[in-house]
């Protein structure tokens, strides 16, 4: 993995590791499209220690409430306070201004458990194919 390239979880969060071993965390376009519009976000507190896949934030969209899990373990050193007044930045720019938090990594080995973008796209496509099959044939035909 090259520094700065996003890595993804199956729970649709991404992380970009910077030169100083900090990690920027956000939500992928897949879940953002499902949420459509975000009306509220609960951000984590700066200074807390989090474990990989621990819930660190919650967003409320038009159709759902979604827990945001941290793709890595470490200490939260910054949050995107712009999201408090403009939570929809996550929808408008999920890989840019819509980032959620920055974490100081505590275990770089965890990065090997995450998916590079190409693998994540394949994962998402496989899920969409299963959902389309389910919608067309119903659960009895698939399982």
Q: Which residues of the chain have pLDDT under 70?
A: 1-4, 130-143
Summarised one tens digit per residue, pLDDT across range 89-119 is 999 999 999 999 999 999 999 999 999 999 9
Q: Rounded CA gap, 125 and 132, in Å?
A: 10
pTM across the whole model:
0.84
Distance CA 99, CA 21 (A): 17
CATH class belonging to 7-142: mainly beta
Tens of pLDDT, residue by residue over 56-65, are: 999 998 878 8
């Amino acid at each position: 993995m090259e520094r700065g390239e996003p890595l993804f979880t199956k729970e649709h969060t991404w992380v970009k590791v910077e030169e100083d071993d900090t990690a920027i965390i956000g939500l992928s376009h897949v879940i953002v499209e499902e949420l459509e519009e975000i009306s509220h976000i609960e951000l984590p507190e700066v200074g807390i220690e989090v474990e990989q896949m621990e819930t660190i934030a919650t967003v409320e969209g038009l159709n759902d409430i979604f827990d945001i899990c941290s793709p890595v373990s470490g200490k939260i050193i910054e949050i995107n306070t712009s999201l408090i007044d403009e939570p929809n930045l996550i929808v408008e720019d999920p890989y840019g201004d819509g980032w959620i938090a920055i974490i100081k990594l505590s275990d770089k080995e965890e990065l090997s458990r995450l998916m590079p973008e190409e693998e994540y796209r394949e994962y998402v496509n496989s899920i969409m194919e299963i959902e389309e099959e389910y919608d067309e044939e119903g659960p009895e035909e698939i399982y």
